[in-house]
Amino acid sequence: MTGSRHGKNGLYLEGKKLKRTGFYPAFLAGGLLSAAFPVINLAVRPESFLSLEGSPFHILMQANWQLMAMINVLLVLTGACIMYHTEHSGNAILKMSSLPFREGSLFLGKALVMASVCAVVLLIEAASVLFCTIHWFGEEGMLPEVLIGFGFSFLMLLPALLCSLLIASVCKNMWVSLGIGVVCIFLATMLPKDDFVLSLFPFAMPFQEISGEIHKLLQQVPETVWKLSAAAGAESALFIVLEFVFLKVRRWF
């Protein structure tokens, strides 16, 4: 009973705990910054993009996504660190653990808050990309492709999001979780992009994008797309399970 009450409440509660932490401004600023990349790129050197063949969406993603994804994944990591820093710094987590609700819902509430702000960030980015396709390429009908593309990006961001939260919940010191996360992101950028297994590394997934394959999507979902989606789902589930195991095991130490 309390569990379900907290479930409804969780998003609100975990959202409220972030007051005055700079969490929301950080995501807004990050979203605007990464949304600025395609616009600036096109404003500064339109000729190098407008002359390219193919879908404008694909051209834009090819040129900008690696940087935009980097910002997204850094935001997710920083956000996770801020979220658990509020729990650990004043030892509030100890009080939370002695209240009558399932502790897993604290983690899930945080994941829900973070997924929501990530959705907002991706929407800002999508709006910017859409604006570029219309303003510079004169292409009016790209909305469905852009939405599908960024929907996929959202899915690809989830494993990194949950993994960051898991790390931040385990490490009491925010700087340790931040350090681990930065090393993971650094590793992800060094992994070869064409190796499918290596591309499943949670912090590498956000760099994936499918703008080149969306036209195929309408007839048949390409194998890599559904494989990546399934992997993202499985990894997300895995990190949630790991967090629940951690919450159980922690009482033994």
Partner 1 sequence: MSNDRNIIEAHQLSRSYAGFRAVDRIDLHVPRGSVYGFLGPNGAGKSTTMKMLLGLTTPSEGYFVVDGKKNPENRVEILKEIGSLIESPAFYGNLTGEENLDIIRRILGLPKSAVSQALDLVGLTQYRRRLARNYSLGMKQRLGLAGALLGKPPILILDEPTNGLDPVGIHEIRALIRSLPAQFDCTVLVSSHLLSEIELMADRIGILNHGRILFEGTLEDLKAYGLTQGYPTGNLEEVFLAMVNEDNGRRGMIR
Token pair in block for residue 183: 């090393």
Q: How far is the CB of 90 from partner 1 (least distance, A)?
A: 4
Q: Does 153 bind partner 1 (CB under 8 A)?
A: no
Among 48, 89, 173, 224, binds partner 1 (CB under 8 A): 89
Q: Does 78 bind partner 1 (CB under 8 A)?
A: no
Token pair in block for residue 92: 């509030």
Among 32, 50, 95, 237, binds partner 1 (CB under 8 A): 95
Q: Does 20 bind partner 1 (CB under 8 A)?
A: yes
Cβ contacts of 225 within 8 Å, gap of 6 or more: 152, 210, 213, 217
Among 25, 47, 98, 197, binds partner 1 (CB under 8 A): 98
Question: What's the sign of the alpha-carbon dihedral 8, 11, 17, 20?
Answer: negative
CA distance 30 to 206: 15
Residue with tokens 């490490």: 171
Phi/psi of residue 34, nearest 5 degrees: -70, -30
State which residue, 93 or 225, has the beta carbon closest to partner 1.
93
Q: How far is the CB of 248 from partner 1 (least distance, A)?
A: 9
CA distance 187 to 110: 26
Q: Does 245 bind partner 1 (CB under 8 A)?
A: no
Q: Does 11 bind partner 1 (CB under 8 A)?
A: no
Amino acid identity at 172: K
Q: How far is the CB of 20 from partner 1 (least distance, A)?
A: 5
Q: Which residues from 21-60 bind partner 1, rule CB under 8 A?
A: 21
Q: Does 173 bind partner 1 (CB under 8 A)?
A: no
Helix (H) or strand (E) holding 73: helix 56-89
State which residue, 12 or 226, has the beta carbon closest to partner 1.
12
Among 29, 92, 143, 187, binds partner 1 (CB under 8 A): 92
Cβ contacts of 114 within 8 Å, gap of 6 or more: 76, 79, 80, 83, 161, 165
Binding site for partner 1 (CB under 8 A): 2-3, 5-6, 9, 12-13, 16-21, 86-87, 89-102, 251-252
